Amino acid sequence: MTLNVTEIRKDFPILNRTTRNGSRIIYLDSTATSQKPVQVIEAMNEYYRASNANIHRGVHTLAEEATAMYEGAREKIAKFINAASAREVIYTRNTTESINLVAYTWARANLKAGDLVILTEMEHHSNLVPWHILQAERGVDLEFIPVTEDGLLDLDAYKALLERTPKLVSFTHMSNVLGTINPADEIIRMAHEAGAIVLVDGAQSVPHLHVDVQALDADFYAFSAHKMCGPTGIGALYGKTSLLDAMPPFLGGGDMIKEVKLRSFRPNTLPHKFEAGTPAIAEAVGFGAAVDYLASIGMDDIAAHEHDITEYALERLEEIPGVKLFGPSADKKGGVASFTLDGVHPHDVAQILDEDGVAVRAGHHCAQPLHEKFGIPATSRASFYLYSTKEEVDMLVKGLYKVKEMFG
C-alpha cells in the first residue's frame, strides 16, 4: 500500500515551521532523531494534565492510573517487537544505556580475560566504547567483522572469526552512516551455532523495519524511542527471560528491590530489577503512543515508502558532479544517503543547505572508525522517514548545486 504522505505530514506540526530567513523546514535528519506526531505530544500532555503521579507504590487514583499507563506502554512495545513477554522489555534512557546495561551486567558476570567479543567496523560509538572499557578492565579480546568497499559486512571473514569460539557477538542491524541493513537472522544463527550470545543495536532498524525479536532469535536487542516518533530520554532493552533473570542489577535504589535490610538486599523481579528510581513516566506514555502510531500505519508500508524515497535520492545525488555516495545500493539499505562533495567540507555543505531550510547532518556521525576505513574525516548525511517526500529530495539536490556554485 502506498502511504498517504500528505495526510501523515499533517500529524507533524514542526514540518510547518519556517527558518529564521523564511524557508520552509526540509527535515532530512531523521536518523539523528525523528520528528514527533501530535498523537505522541498529546498523549504525554494528557498524562501530565490528568494522571501525573509516581508509579507502582501508590494506591490512590492518580498513582494507579500512572502505573497502568506506564506498564501499558511496556505491553505495547513488547507486542511491537514480538517479545514473548512484557517482562523481557526493560526501560532505559536510550540505545546507548541499553548496550551499557548488557556490558556492565551480563558481560561482567560472564566474560573474563582472553574471551572474544566480535563487533563490526560499522558500529556506532555506543557499541564500541563499552567494549573498549571492558577490554581495559577485564582483558577481553575484540575483533571486528570487516566492511567491504560497497558497504556490506564480509560474512566470510565473520565465519573465520567464529572459529575462535567468541562469547559475544554485538552488531548493528542497520548502519546509521551507510544505511546498510545487515542480515541479522543469518548473523545471529551463525553466532549461536558457535556458542555465542548476541546483542543487536536496533536503534536504526526498529523505527524503519518490521522487527520480530523471536523470529530473529536475538538474545538482547536495544533501541530508542526518539528515533521512532517517540520522545527523547527513553529507550528499551529486550532480553530473553533466562538471561535477564541470571544477570545482576545494573543500578541500585528504589523499585529495583524486593527487600532491603541494613546489611543486605534482594533484587526485584523482572523487569523492575533493572529500573531503579523514578522512571521517565511521561516518556514511557509517549513511547507507547509512538508504537501505536507506527503500528497504525504499518511498518512494511513505512519500509516500502522509505525504499522508494531512498532509491530516488541516490539516483538524483549521483547526477551531481563531485558527489560521492557511501554504502550499498538502495535494495540493501534503509533511508540513509551519506555523501561527500569534492572540495567542500561536509559542515560547509550542511550550513549552506540550512540557509534554504534543508536540514542534514554533517560529521562522523559517532562512527569515526568507519570513516577512517573509507579514508575520510566526515560525510554529509540525508536521512528519510515516513513523512519524507521526493520534493524534499529535489530541494536537497537544488541546494547542493548552490553549494557547488558558491565554492566554484
**CATH code: domain of residue 390:** 3.90.1150.10
Q: Are 144 and 210 in the same domain?
A: yes
**Is residue 35 a part of any domain in this protein?**
no
What pLDDT, in 10s, does the model give residues 65-118?
999 999 999 999 999 999 999 999 999 999 999 999 999 999 999 999 999 999
Q: Are 304 and 270 in the same domain?
A: no
Q: Give the Cα separation of 273 and 278 in Å (integer).
A: 13
pLDDT at 21 exceeding the cut of 90: no
What pLDDT, in 10s, does the model give residues 189-215?
999 999 999 999 999 999 999 999 999
**Is residue 178 a part of any domain in this protein?**
yes
Q: Which of 266, 296, 326 is the last residue of a domain?
A: 296
Q: Are 48 and 106 in the same domain?
A: yes
How confident is residue 357, by pLDDT bands cut at 50, 70 and 90? very high
Instruction: Tell me what pLDDT residue 168 has.
Output: 98
Q: For all residues of the chain together, what is the average pLDDT? A: 97
Q: Please report how the helices 281-297 and 61-81 are oriented relative to each other, as an axis angle in degrees rounded to 10.
A: 40
What pLDDT, in 10s, does the model give residues 5-16?
999 999 999 999
Regarding beta strands 358-359 and 26-27, do their DSSP bridges make them parallel or antiparallel, or are they unpaired? parallel
Instruction: Tell me what pLDDT residue 1 has.
Output: 66
**Is residue 154 a part of any domain in this protein?**
yes
Q: Are 84 and 213 in the same domain?
A: yes
Q: Are 288 and 306 in the same domain?
A: no
Regarding beta strands 323-326 and 264-267, do their DSSP bridges make them parallel or antiparallel, or are they unpaired? unpaired
How confident is residue 130, by pLDDT bands cut at 50, 70 and 90? very high
Q: Are 387 and 239 in the same domain?
A: no
Q: Are 324 and 383 in the same domain?
A: yes
Question: Residue 366 catalytic?
Answer: yes
Domain count, the chain: 2
What pLDDT, in 10s, does the model give residues 219-250?
999 999 999 999 999 999 999 999 999 999 99
Judged by phi (left if over 0) then psi (alpha if -120 to 50, else beta), residue 324 lies in: beta
Q: Which residue has the cell 548493528?
A: 172
CB 223 within 8 A of CB 204: no
**Is residue 37 a part of any domain in this protein?**
no
Q: Which of 296, 311, 344 is the last residue of a domain?
A: 296
**Is residue 36 a part of any domain in this protein?**
no
The catalytic residue among 366, 373, 374, 407 is 366
Q: Are 262 and 346 in the same domain?
A: no
C-alpha grid cell, residue 177: 552512516
pLDDT at 158 exceeding the cut of 70: yes
Q: What totals of helices (H) and strands (E) does the chain contain, helices first?
A: 15, 15
pLDDT at 282 exceeding the cut of 90: yes
Q: Are 17 and 108 in the same domain?
A: no
**Is residue 70 a part of any domain in this protein?**
yes
Q: Please report how the helices 281-297 and 299-318 are oriented relative to each other, as an axis angle in degrees rounded to 10.
A: 80
